[in-house]
Amino acid sequence: MTLKVALRIDGAAWKKELPDVKKLVKTAATAAWLAGNTGDFKLPVKSAEVSVLLTDDAAVHAKAYRGIDRPTNVLSFAALDDEDEPIVDPLLLGDIAVAFETTKREAQDQKISTAGHLFHLIVHGVLHLIGYDHMTDADAAEMEALEIKILARNGMDNPYDD
């Protein structure tokens, strides 16, 4: 199973902060795709594509999503929203947008690296595109456990530990 990542970087802040940001995004997205595309979330395709936009708070805040009128760290827009939609190979999973200022601020608040936080946000976003969510406590526990597993495989700590 392969994942193609189309990455667009708006502004110089991402590259200045993270010179290897392209590799980081591809590694995180691929790790999430491989770990998340299993069980009830197994999609019958050999390859998939995801589009990632690294941008700023202003772009992410341009519209209020889910009734939240402020910038958020990551937004995911799944291409497959309906169980009856045809699944073709390669499968377009959808789009992810990440806001630089919010991501950097959250990383500083959590005393982690911006790279580590971005890695987690990309993993989180890809899992949403596959079909995971955190609307119920049970769904949140399942998604968080998978995120923790993916991050650990990549040498990162549990972001949900207090």
Render each residue's pLDDT in the chain as its tens digit; 162 residues. 799 999 999 989 999 999 999 999 999 999 999 999 998 888 888 899 999 999 999 888 766 566 667 778 999 999 877 666 778 888 999 999 999 999 999 999 999 999 999 999 999 999 999 999 999 999 999 999 999 999 999 999 999 886
Cβ burial, residue 12 (10 Å; 0-12/13-18/19+): exposed
What pLDDT sits at residue 86?
A: 75
Query: Side chain identity at 146, as an amino acid letter?
Result: L
Q: How far apart are CA 23 and CA 37, in angstroms?
A: 21
pTM over 0.85: yes
What pLDDT sits at residue 89?
A: 87
